[in-house]
Structure 1
């Protein structure tokens, strides 16, 4: 997140193989270098029909423009916990105050899974969020299998999206 007053870059903690902080780096620089030893959060909104709220990223995004995305996602800022990052990203991207709703931790992944150190959460809601139009341009309510099929048919997505859907919704048959 940029600070409008002094235009400082966001920094992320660099972590070792045990997810312990060993340093910090500009988040943008770490992304450009493709580093995996950063912390990220992702979350899915799921409705009572078992459909996931899946947004499409804006066309002008530097990373993954026009791609399908997780309901909520972002890097954990330096000094922040996973849970604090989830609260911040939910507010910034979807105008959701997660203090007022129930969230569930689905699980964790790491570089051995081909991704950053990541915690994945779930939020139950039948309402589409009031999403940030600078981040997203469209959204879909999709069953997990339908989302995977959409991606297989050529709809572009962030690399982690099908990995998370397979792991947490198809393999584990979560609802």
Structure 2
């Protein structure tokens, strides 16, 4: 397995246009804007897959997250990355993420485009040990309680806030 810091990413501008490439470690060090995907995975009962990131992650080690996902590799499309990341992190095959929306996330010296998806999974999961230290399925109310007391990744918090706003504006199936 290659070192995640060496993974080649597309560097993009404020309109999400590719302007170059760089290794992930360099992208993080220099605060270059890049691309990520977030997939909110629910089971048929509407519970959300929530996990704690491993302590070896480059960004937000040990934090909780309600999304599976990650960086989009150089030359990879957002939909390709959404399927790849969801399948890798959940340890499954055949997941079909549905696109929701995209936004530019900024914090201090870092920024990335977040392409949001949701998916339903009706089967066992075998999360990737290098990415996921702990996992469970939580109801939206249980997740809201955890958000008030646990350290969640900041970009995931922002993405989930936007997701809830979208659902309030356009109610649909859980």
Normalised by the length of structure 2, the TM-score is 0.82
Q: Deviations over 1:32-72 (max 9, x none)?
A: 3333x201111011122221101111233343222112442
Unpaired segments ≥5 residues, structure 2 = none
Alignment-derived partner of residue 117 in structure 1: 113
Q: Does 1:167 align with 2:162?
A: yes
1 CA distance for matches of 2:25 and 2:60? 14
Give aligned pairs, total: 168
Normalised by the length of structure 1, the TM-score is 0.82
Q: Which of 24, 27, 49 lines up with 1:27 in the alignment? A: 24
Distance 1:8 1:156, change over 3 A: closer
Report the Cα offset of residue 28 of structure 1.
Answer: 1.6
2 CA distance for matches of 1:14 and 1:151? 31
1 CA distance for matches of 2:36 and 2:156? 13
Q: Which of 86, 100, 108 lines up with 1:106 in the alignment? A: 100
1:145–1:170 CA contact under 8 A, matched in 2? no
Distance 1:133 1:17, change over 3 A: same
1:54–1:68 CA contact under 8 A, matched in 2? yes
1:13–1:24 CA contact under 8 A, matched in 2? yes
2 CA distance for matches of 1:67 and 1:112? 18
Alignment-derived partner of residue 39 in structure 1: 35
Unpaired segments ≥5 residues, structure 1 = none
Alignment-derived partner of residue 58 in structure 1: 54
